[in-house]
Amino acid sequence: MKRTVAHLADGREIIYFDHTDAHERLAADTRDLPPVAAASEIRRDPLTGEWVAMAAHRQTRTYKPPADLCPLCPTRPGKPSEIPEADYDVVVFENRFPSFSQQATGNPSTVDGLGLVPTAPGLGRCEVVCFTSDHDGAFSRLTPEQVRLVVDTWADRTAALAQTPGVEQVFPFENRGEEIGVTLSHPHGQIYGYPFVTPKTERMLAVAREHGGSVLGDVLAAEQKSGERVIATGEHWTAFVPPAARWPVHIQLVPHRQVPDLPSLTDAERDDFSRVYLDVLRRCDALYGRPLPYIAGWHQAPVRRDRELSWLHLELFSVLRAKDKLKYLAGSESGMAVWINDATPEQIAERLRSAG
């Protein structure tokens, strides 16, 4: 993998990841861009203890541009984009409309100075990851070699963001499909460097602490023994529907060895993930005979603590419960975080196996 660092017209970092050394990334960003303004703030909910990000500047972010003006496509004559080069393999750049930023300033305080609701700068980093220069492509249509380059990119950025001031957890993820809320259709994902450990991770760590170690290893062993909910397997990874699945389509991809994060994976584990994940994604797209809208995200250990309690895994889920029907997160799910699934995990697994 070749790694080339450059900067966009407003000073943001852009990094090209190439399969070989053949490409020289020398194109300059010719746009006249104003400086990035990212005054994000975090506030702690006094009732739950969870942090909430305030990023009002994101209201002006790019929203569903026509394909010929896609900001994630390579630059073409007369149509400059976020990527100055005429082509690329994988590229990462700082988000122009970040939820968390190194530009966030200020001192920890409380709302209205009353001491009840803590506030702090939203110090962190948000990056965009473009998986391919093909605007009409999809992650499921990448080759195993292309997926491996994406995995190496995620690992590289996880290691870099872990060293970024203020970052406590790194979360690479992909949102796919309008039903999920995607506003740019070009195949891409994001990476958030959070200034706190996320609520879901905190809860999983608390359960692991009570259990005396990561629960996921026991779950993996049970799923491998049963096979009832297993979707796909490889030498180093198993994909299965979790036994208490929340979503109409819900899959976890788990390495057979406990590692805290993506940089800890071996070459063999990265290669095997590429094959197993493509199998899973292609089953997902075959499930309803249409591209499945989904969210796929990596659960990684916090940067500075509880790494021995963490077990890296990828979670994929979809709101699509039939070809033309969505699961809405209404009263119980949104109001009380109590999930009600319209299908059993065993039914979901069987549908995905049959879709293969």
HSE of 170, CA atoms in CB hemisphere, 13 A: 23
HSE of 56, CA atoms in CB hemisphere, 13 A: 2
On whether 73 is known to bind a ligand per the annotation, the reply is yes
Is residue 191 within 8 Å of 157, Cβ to Cβ? yes
CA dist., res. 10 & res. 344, Å (int): 50
Of the candidates 188, 236, 250, 313, the residue annotated as catalytic is: 188
- Indicate if 313 belongs to the active site: no
* Type of residue numbered 49: G
Q: What is the distance in angstroms between the CA of the first residue and the CA of the last residue of the chain?
A: 32
On whether 250 is known to bind a ligand per the annotation, the reply is no
CA dist., res. 72 & res. 46, Å (int): 39
Q: How many other C-beta atoms can be found within 10 angstroms of the C-beta atom of residue 114?
A: 7
Which whole-number Å values give the CA distances from 70 to 62, 64, 73, 143, in the listed order? Answer: 9, 9, 6, 23
On whether 135 is known to bind a ligand per the annotation, the reply is yes
Is residue 279 within 8 Å of 287, Cβ to Cβ? no
Active site residues: 188
Pick out the residues of the known binding site for Zn(2+): 70, 73, 135, 186
